[in-house]
Amino acid sequence: MTQLEVELNELKTEVSNMWSLVMSQLTKTRDAIVYFDKDLAREVVLREKRVNAYELKLDRDCENIFALYCPVAIDLRFLLAALKINNNLERIGDIADGIARYVIDAPTPFDKTLLEATQLLDMFENSMIVTNDAKVAFETEDTHLARTIFEKDDILDKLNRKANHTIADCIKQDLAVTEEAMYVLSIIRKLERVGDQCTNIAEEIIFYIEAKVLKHFQAK
């Protein structure tokens, strides 16, 4: 194994570690909502600094490999993809942080009826599934699995659109829930963006393995 191959394998491991950290942030954010655990939400906010530090480290690692080895072909594509995936993961971390801050700011626990009506927890579940699938696709270089992410993102889009109407109906029935309903809608919109980030990641996986650029085009 060449030194370049060693460096690339280590980088791949580090990206996977970043992925695990971000997924942990999403899980803790969901639990903070379910149990209205402000301390857990504060932990997510504090750990966001670690996510940011990891992103900077991975960026530096990629830059060092570029400078030292001048990679070509699939190695070059992998490095370019790793840089973009790293950025997408950091944005998912930002999303978890933003949702955790809603929990910290919320005056009372989220109404279970409202959570069920908007399918908020289903949004969380699907967000975590698509994030995990992207991680597995990256680690195993499975472009077939990567392509399934596009369809799974459509599910998140549909739940997001449905929630808009559900929230409007809830507010019409009871104006007292307006503030809480807006919190929930904001969370759902953030979770929908997790799917967007994972779609970007899937495109990068396919790019570096198959040398196919899918940006602005997704086969349905």
Are 116 and 48 in contact, with CB atoms under 8 Å apart?
no
> Which pTM does this prediction carry?
0.93
The residue-averaged pLDDT of 60-74 equals 94
The residue-averaged pLDDT of 83-102 equals 97
pLDDT in tens, 115-131: 999 999 999 999 999 99
Q: Which domains does the chain have, with CATH numbers?
A: 3-210 (1.20.58.220)
Q: What is the mean pLDDT of the chain?
A: 93
How confident is the model at residue 215, as a pLDDT? 62
- Whether the per-residue pLDDT at 219 is higher than 60: the answer is no
d(CA 210, CA 111): 47
* Beta carbons within 8 Å of 75's beta carbon, 6+ residues apart: 4, 8, 69
Residue type, 43: E
pLDDT in tens, 200-215: 999 999 999 998 776 6
d(CA 99, CA 94): 9
